[in-house]
Amino acid sequence: MFKADRIIVAFDGKNDSKKALKKAIDLSKRLGAELTVAHVHEPRQTMVNEQRPAAGTAYIYGGIPSVPPVPHDSDIAGEPVIYEDSAEEAIAAAKIILNEHQLDAEIEILEGDPAKAVLKHAEHIGADLVITGSRDQNRLKKLLFGSVSDKITAKSEIPVLIVK
């Protein structure tokens, strides 16, 4: 039988990763292995709002509005808007699933390319198995961008379990 002391599961909060987490929990219990849930996100992106003309504004030559723009409370020019990823939601979803299955696990938030970050952390913690979900993507998207599970499988030096 396969032996693993530490399992790492890639988790983004979507249905395929929820299935992967449930399989990881099951295997962790069966094998007596420690479990690490890894969520990877890209660093925050900050954008600066520009003022926009009010609705119904007429324009004169050159696209210049004939009425000055009207800023909204949340739309002040020059005020940064931070677009955060769904890390908090994903971690909350992972904790719910872990609680439902009565299992304690380490939860790690990693940054960067998902496949590289998960594999680097797997090596760092000495994982014996990587578990990831498989998302159905259209062929063009998969051809252009690849999938995280494909990249993990191709680059991993330890066994990988892909859950569908």
Condensed to tens digits (0 to 9), the pLDDT of residues 5-50 reads 999 999 999 999 999 999 999 999 999 999 999 999 866 544 555 5
Query: For all residues of the chain together, what is the average pLDDT?
Result: 82
Question: Is the pLDDT at 121 greater than 90, yes or no?
Answer: yes
Tokens standing for 8? 């790492």
Which residues does 39 contact at the CB level (< 8 Å), separation at least 6? 11, 12, 13, 87, 90, 91, 94, 107, 108, 109, 110
* pTM over cut 0.75: no
pLDDT recorded at residue 66: 56
Domain parsing of the chain, residue ranges: 6-42+84-163, 46-82
Tokens describing residue 70 = 């009207």
Please tell me the number of Cα atoms within 13 Å of 74 on its side-chain side.
2
> Which of 3.40.109.10, 3.40.640.10, 3.40.50.150, 3.40.50.620 is the CATH number of 6-42+84-163?
3.40.50.620
Tokens encoding 137 = 């993507």
pLDDT tops 70 at residue 157: yes
Question: What is the per-residue pLDDT for 41?
Answer: 84
